[in-house]
Amino acid sequence: MQGETAAFDAKHTADKNLKQEHLRLFRPNLENPANKEATKELNEKEQQRCEEFKELIDDTQLNLLTAEEETSQLFHVAYLNNVRAMIAIFDKLIPRTDFIMLPGDEIVEKKHANIKMLTA
């Protein structure tokens, strides 16, 4: 994930430098009709730069999301394994015979109903 962020930062810096270069080339005399082609070329280059940067942002977001999902899946598996281990340890730590019987824990036998009540 850090490598992806570093790669994005490097490309962002290059894009920022290219944007500054385009702003420098966009001088006031480009509005002159004689410089129409130069203005059009500069506009096309800037549109292409914008599209490439938008694609870079989308790709970076997808890569970061994928890395985040992989990391969270690894955490989830490790968490489940730890919980299962803790349950197994606590299950064997205190035997069931050591638990105190509380009122209402006794096994109540159901009285058999009289046959006359069942047929009535």
- Say what the pLDDT of residue 40 is: 85
Model confidence over 9-56: pLDDT tens digits? 888 888 888 888 877 777 766 677 777 788 888 889 889 989 998 999
And the tokens for 53? 């940067």
Name the nearest CA neighbour of 23 among 55, 46, 40, 44.
46
In this model, does residue 72 exceed pLDDT 90?
yes
pLDDT on residue 61: 92
With residues binned 3-state (H G I as helix, E B as strand, rest as coil), the percentages for the chain, rounded to 5, are: 80, 0, 20
**Distance between CA atoms of residues 109 and 87, nearest Å:** 33
DSSP letter (8 states) at residue 91: H
Task: Check residue 77 and give its pLDDT.
Answer: 97
More confident residue, 60 or 112: 60
- For 57, the 3-state DSSP assignment is helix
Residue 114 has pLDDT above 80, yes or no: no
Residues 115-120 have a mean pLDDT of: 64
Residue 68 — pLDDT band, cuts 50, 70, 90? very high
